[in-house]
Amino acid sequence: MTAKKSTRKRWLKRLLRLSLWAAGVILSLGLLFIGLVNWGVFGSIPSKQTLRDIQQQNATRIYAQEGTLIGKLFVENRTSLEFEDFPPHLIDALIATEDARFYDHSGVDTRSLLRVFIRTIMLGDESAGGGSTLTQQLAKNLYGRKQHGWLTLPVNKTKEAIVARRLENLYTKEEILTLYLNTVPFGEEVFGVEAAAQRYFNTTATQLAIEEAAVLVGMLKANTYFHPKRHPERSKQRRNVVLQQMVRYDYLDQSTSDSLQHLPLVLDYANLESQGPAPYALPHIEREAKRILDEWSRTHDATYDLNTEGWIIHTTLQPDRQQAMVEAMQDFLPKRQAQLWAQYQKEPYKRQLYDLARKQLASTGWTAEQDSAKPRLLFDGESVQLDTLTQLDSMARALCVLQAGMVMLDPNTGAVRAWVGGIDHALQPYDQVVAKRTLASTIKPVLYAAALEQGVDPCLRLDNDPIVLEDYEQWRPKNYDATFGGSYSMRGALANSKNLPTIQLLFHTGFAAFDRMWAQMGFSVDLPGTPAAALGAVEGSALEVAVAYAAFANGGQQVTPYLIDSIISPTGEVVYRHKVTTGKPILSPRTARQMTQLLAYAVNQGTGSALRSRYGVSLPLAGKTGTAQNNSDAWFTSFTTDAVLVTRVGAAYPEVHFASGSLGSGSTLALPLAGKAWKILQRNGYSPSNLPLLKESEVALFHCPDYQPPSRLDNWLDWFKRDKTTVEKEKRRAERREKWRQFWRSIK
């Protein structure tokens, strides 16, 4: 052996010893690092006992009466399923894409890690993947990651590997897959496949088609980048990669994969909290549930958490009625919105609108000098548009947006059957069902009911003469159509919504009786002690109106509205079931029956007749229109024997309104919403029983003309006394006329 060869051999031995020494040091350091992580130096690691006791947060699910999911309450939007609930193709897609050797490793796939090390770290191939197994991903989903400076990645990866090995020792592969699919995030604060299936495809995980399952699995790589609603093309491409992976690992044949890859990406996006079938009702359901469970927890010495424990709430809402009202609003309101905006494009309405906008902006420190045109999102009553506007222009458009509320309840029980608080919850979150607005003529039946309760004859003649109320700042009430003269029966006055006869009825009945009836019917605002109250110069909500009119429909009983039928605990126990109780009587059955007939006449012959003539609704209905001063609010209340429907439409501020009643009255702005909703229900087979008829002894009480024209003497006296009639004089005059009428009837 030459000296040269001997030297080379010594160097090789030294290099080998050095390499072995370095490898030993690296291995020792690696083992030490793993030990330090395992001992909790970089933060605690869940113990085996902790992993055994994994309790995932689950959303509370809210269902309509027929079992339709309408919303959730949650911190994390998750609904846990059992392994059997997941379709096999979902499992196949997940394993083929995320962890092909899932059934062959024990939590950490050494072969996969080696591949990642060589291809990603040494060769720079970013397509090699991340190397984490599904079990490691589960560990990350359960416990997240923390920051440790430049050691963040190795520390977190090591923690996940340790937790993964522990999980594999504690759970079967099926249990690990179940935990994974119930915890994996899908963006938008959605966790788990069940919640994702509902959000993106409006279905359950069990019913996911192969291509839909592939979309969700594809999102796991990067749920924002591959978001199917925001980036549909990327999502489709990623979906097709998943389908091809299923072919690669023999979970799907090539021909099936090819046909599925050619399908368009079809979503049925359903964000129940803002765009579901009843988003305005959800906050009220949550409050009602908390009130019920607070009482339950006190009596049972128990605790609860609606946002994390997976309770189930069954509500009173009926999807067919809810949908009918949503469709009616979406069909009609945008048309009227366009007409209102067209009006405010013209003078002097445009100037008035911008004056109001300036007034609103002034309170925020806005100045015209600093206002510049910028791209702004604009809601036009139907959708959001991007336009370049000044802040003043934007405010003017916002003030001109029509708002509407619709609510339907069962008058016999108080169960709320539909709740539509606006046309778009995301853009108009304020609930118009509970908003208090001027009631206008919607209030008149309260007065008429008070009169009937006092025994007033339905044929009582009510003067339609002009009056000046000197004790009330010379107030001169007028009829909506500005007509006067002659007299009306109660039926004629109510059916045609006449103001002057209604004031006469207030004088005859007395304010105390009116005020008492108002309070009994459930209104929360005190009735103003002025005659204008009889014409609706007081505020109330659509829900309050529905409760009040329920007494007419149910024979005179007071009802309390409710939204929850039952509540089921996370363990499946029914902890609450609503008990229907009879409310206290606030009207005699006779008065309720007569009021129903008066209001049915208003629908058939009076201001609500468009329900029949224009919308073709033949259901047995009673109802009443209401139009606030200057058309600022439009109302229509209608009812059958088992449903009261209240609709109200108006802009946010009463200064913004239609210039004419042909577009802005109760019969032209609020009634169409009810007409369309009732027509949809009628078309779908809704068939309530007939309204209660008058008893034979009551029929004669309504045999009188709706209107009697003035006599020549009345015309002369009215002209002579016009503008000189005080409240007391008018009251005495009405009393004298009634006494003479009763005298002549007695001698006939």
Last residue in a domain, options 372, 402, 432 = 402
Of the candidates 381, 385, 383, 389, the residue with the CA atom closest to the CA atom of residue 341: 381
Residues 157 and 230 in one domain: yes
Confidence label for 726 from pLDDT (cuts 50, 70 and 90):
very low
Q: Which helix (H) or strand (E) holds 638?
A: strand 634-639
Residues 655 and 547 in one domain: yes
Which two three-digit tokens encode residue 577?
A: 């079931």
Q: What is the pLDDT of residue 727?
A: 45
Residues 412 and 300 in one domain: no
**Which of 44-48, 450-454, 467-471, 474-478 is most confident?**
450-454
Q: What is the pLDDT of residue 276?
A: 77
Confidence label for 187 from pLDDT (cuts 50, 70 and 90):
confident
Residues 255 and 287 in one domain: no
Higher pLDDT, 34 or 708: 708
Q: What is the pLDDT of residue 385?
A: 74
Question: Would 602 be classed as within a structural domain?
Answer: yes
Q: What is the pLDDT of residue 581?
A: 85
Question: Would 42 be classed as within a structural domain?
Answer: no
Dist. CA 434–CA 406, nearest whole Å: 10
Residues 435 and 290 in one domain: no
Q: Do 191 and 78 contact (CB within 8 A), yes or no? A: yes
Question: Would 73 be classed as within a structural domain?
Answer: yes
Task: Identify the CATH number of the domain in which residue 475 sits.
Answer: 3.40.710.10
Dist. CA 626–CA 443, nearest whole Å: 8
Q: Do 87 and 213 contact (CB within 8 A), yes or no? A: yes
pLDDT at 740 over 60: no
Contacts of 250 (CB under 8 A, 6+ apart): none
Residues 120 and 147 in one domain: yes
**Which of 63-67, 189-193, 566-570 is most confident?**
566-570
Q: What is the pLDDT of residue 599?
A: 97
Among the listed ranges 114-128, 320-334, 441-455, 526-540, which one has the minimum average pLDDT value?
Answer: 114-128
Angle between helices 499-509 and 511-520 (to 10 degrees): 100
* Total domain count, the chain: 3
Q: Which amino acid is at 15?
A: L
Q: What is the pLDDT of residue 43?
A: 57
Residues 589 and 700 in one domain: yes
pLDDT at 423 over 70: yes
**Which of 50-54, 515-519, 581-585 is most confident?**
515-519
What are 622-666's pLDDT values in tens digits? 999 999 999 999 999 999 999 999 999 999 999 999 999 999 999
Residues 374 and 226 in one domain: no
Task: Identify the CATH number of the domain in which residue 62 sits.
Answer: 1.10.3810.10
Higher pLDDT, 311 or 51: 311
Q: Is 405 helix (H, G, I), strand (E, B) or coil?
A: strand
pLDDT at 110 over 90: no
Q: What is the pLDDT of residue 656?
A: 97
Which pairing describes strands 312-315 and 60-63: parallel, antiparallel, or unpaired?
A: parallel
What's the mean pLDDT when you consider all of the chain? 86
Q: What is the pTM of this model?
A: 0.79
What mean pLDDT comes out for the span 476-504?
Answer: 93
Last residue in a domain, options 402, 417, 437 = 402
Q: Which amino acid is at 664?
A: G
HSE-CB at 31 with a 13 A cutoff on CA atoms is 5
Could you identify the residue written with the tokens 């699910």? 61
Dist. CA 82–CA 197, nearest whole Å: 15
Residues 176 and 291 in one domain: no
pLDDT at 747 over 50: no
What one-character-per-residue DSSP string does 82-100 give?
Answer: -GGGS-HHHHHHHHHHH-T
pLDDT at 121 over 70: no
pLDDT at 42 over 70: no
Q: What is the pLDDT of residue 307?
A: 86
Residues 512 and 464 in one domain: yes
Q: Do 500 and 477 contact (CB within 8 A), yes or no? A: yes
Question: Would 637 be classed as within a structural domain?
Answer: yes
Question: Would 722 be classed as within a structural domain?
Answer: yes
Last residue in a domain, options 402, 437, 461 = 402
Residues 396 and 411 in one domain: no
Q: What is the pLDDT of residue 151?
A: 58
Q: What is the pLDDT of residue 75?
A: 74
Dist. CA 566–CA 315, nearest whole Å: 7
Give the burial class of 287: count Cβ atoms within 10 A of its Cβ; 0-12 exposed, 13-18 middle, 19 or more buried.
exposed
Question: Would 7 be classed as within a structural domain?
Answer: no
Q: Which helix (H) or strand (E) holds 519?
A: helix 511-520
pLDDT at 122 over 70: no
Q: Do 322 and 415 contact (CB within 8 A), yes or no? A: no
Percentage of the chain modeled with pLDDT above 90: 60
Q: Give the sign of the dihedral formed by CA 161, CA 163, CA 168, CA 174.
A: negative
Residues 375 and 246 in one domain: no
Confidence label for 258 from pLDDT (cuts 50, 70 and 90):
very high
Question: Would 105 be classed as within a structural domain?
Answer: yes
Within 10 angstroms of residue 379's Cβ, the number of other Cβ atoms is 17
Question: Would 692 be classed as within a structural domain?
Answer: yes
Percentage of the chain modeled with pLDDT above 70: 84
Range of the domain at 358: 282-304+312-402
What are 338-373's pLDDT values in tens digits? 999 999 999 999 999 999 999 999 988 888 888 888
